Chains A and B, each alone.
Chain A
């Protein structure tokens, strides 16, 4: 189904390289990584660098006007910050929200507070209010409740492609005429639970991650939230809001290979990119930049490179993995990287792939240049999740169309 444009009329972001769009843009242009030593998460695994959001829970509560003592989670707080920025840019106020849908992607949800208070749940009743903040859906509701009553709220958990799939579902709803405006994206904080889990899979780099580099040794966990406001052209015109970009196509495919590993030929990634291009009515040569999934694991970067080579052949657009700057923000990565793509489109530059030094056999060579000197028309944004759940978005410039 291709009928109906899906415009992006607002976006918001919080991640390791900035607490809003302005800060993130500045870091991107400076090529500054947000990955560093652990500060906010309490864990024994201090040997792993991470991409933490540079605010404590208390600081975020204060910024969002949440009364001290109100049960909340880091995932929800980061989500509120990104939602606040997105709604503001799209000129959506409390009274508008009953006409606005909300599709949220998270997988870790409120695990952070469950870890902190788990023993209290068992030993005493002092923290029982936090039991209700554990599940993924409750995080979405906490984010929504901070702003008002939405038309509907849905949560998607498809691991690291959750936020991209949230955007795809929201776009389907707009194209089907089920909604005029939907806020979509994802939020996820770092927890001991998945830091340990990724460590058990031996896919964490003990130093700064190096996507696509020959010496790459795994990913750095990151955290953050980002939301985009998707809107039909009719609704945007009626409300008199200007789009910041357009979601011209999207695709999702299953790799059907392994629970966590990607297939050697990147079949799922290939299908997702082809579907997205087809859905956008574009040729591979129309794409000016690819924001790769590029986790920095030996397996993903090789598999994704193979898939990109199959789609783009010898005419490879510039590619970078901004996970080298933000860390892998897991469920939120799809929307965080979508917002990074929007910033790149609006400001005419290719985000840099930090820490790349040496090319590897069979692996693409990413963009390492910092110059903000390129006009971009169409960009592709990849997000792949465990379970072989692969998604790809095509985001386009609206000022030049």
Chain B
């Protein structure tokens, strides 16, 4: 198997398997711009926290890129797992929610912000969109270590059901500050996975 298709989505940069996507804005505005230009049929996007927005747009761009080449049966798609990694988890959403409980005189905890104070909500948002019912995991790790990621991703295939994994790195330290890459891994891609991930990581600023 050759190299993996990928999407890199960073505060001011969107790349789909080497092809740079044009955009005028940056940060959160860029996410909305890309959503309007390439997706546009999921208004719940605007309710998401930044981590989920990044994961959602990146996964959509990736799946769009792959649609001609990797279709599969309904079961194949339904069994797909989502395994993501990051260092700061839901920190950005935590801060936004904290602001709603910070001031005793203006104390209105926001349910819509609270639900995003979990890093795995981003995996849930992607699963809801695509009807994936496989494993969903978000690993909080110290740094982007290709060997560690390859190990956990290969573990995801251990259950006899999982045939493909939507995998990636996603971190957002502020509403306009994020880094991510997404890729889709099949069982055949497990061999030499560490090097394949390294190749993608080298193209990012992670």
Contact = CB atoms under 8 A, between A and B. Distances in A.
Classify A-B as touching or not with yes or no (CB < 8 A). Answer: yes
Interface of A: 1-2, 107, 135-137, 154-159, 165, 169, 172-173, 175-176, 178, 192-194, 196-197, 199-202, 251-260, 267-268, 271, 275, 279, 385-389
B111 A201 contact: yes
B132 A256 contact: yes
Interface stretch (B25-33, B123-131, B194-202): B123-131
Nearest to A173: B155
Interface in B152-166: 152, 155, 158-161
A132 B158 CA distance: 34
Interface in B84-99: 89, 94, 97-98
Given A154-B139, A252-B135, A256-B128, A176 B89 contact: no
B132 A254 contact: yes
B140 A157 contact: yes
Nearest to A154: B139
B133 A268 contact: yes
Contacts of A254: 82, 123-124, 127, 132-136
Interface stretch (B13-21, B64-72, B114-122, B180-188): B114-122
B142 interface: yes
13 contacts: A107-B119, A157-B119, A157-B140, A158-B118, A169-B152, A172-B155, A252-B135, A255-B133, A257-B128, A275-B161, A386-B118, A386-B124, A389-B120
Looking at chain B's contact residues, the main secondary structure is mixed
A200 B127 contact: no
A256 B114 CA distance: 19
Given A1-B158, A158-B138, A200-B109, A259 B101 contact: no
Given A201-B111, A256-B127, A157 B160 contact: no
B117 A193 contact: yes
A178 B154 CA distance: 11
Given A155-B140, A193-B117, A254-B124, 10 more contacts: A2-B160, A156-B137, A165-B137, A192-B101, A193-B97, A197-B111, A202-B111, A252-B135, A254-B136, A385-B120
A388 B140 contact: no
Contacts of B82: 254
Contacts of B3: none
A156 B139 contact: yes
Contacts of A267: 133
Contacts of A1: 158-160
Contact of A197 (B114, B131, B137, B138): B114
B53 to A, nearest CB: 14
A102 to B, nearest CB: 14
A196 B109 CA distance: 7
A386 B115 contact: yes
Given A172-B158, A388-B127, A253 B133 contact: yes
* Majority-rule SS of A interface residues: mixed
B138 A279 contact: no
A259 B123 CA distance: 10
Contacts of B155: 169, 172-173, 176, 178
Contacts of A199: 109
A385 B118 CA distance: 10
Contacts of A275: 159, 161
Nearest to A158: B120
Contacts of A387: 118, 120-121, 123-124, 127, 136
B151 interface: yes
A199 to B, nearest CB: 7
A254 B94 CA distance: 24
A200 B114 contact: yes
Contacts of A107: 118-119
Nearest to B91: A135
B138 A388 contact: no
A255 B132 CA distance: 8
A64 to B, nearest CB: 24
B141 interface: yes
Given A155-B140, A158-B120, A201 B115 contact: yes
A259 B115 contact: yes
A28 to B, nearest CB: 30
B123 A389 contact: yes
A245 B135 CA distance: 25
B89 A136 contact: yes
Contacts of B160: 1-2, 279
A3 to B, nearest CB: 10
A302 B111 CA distance: 22
Contact of A259 (B94, B125, B137, B161): B125
Query: 6 closest pairs, A vs B, by CB?
Result: A387-B124, A197-B114, A200-B109, A387-B120, A200-B111, A254-B127
Contact of B89 (A157, A165, A172, A202): A157
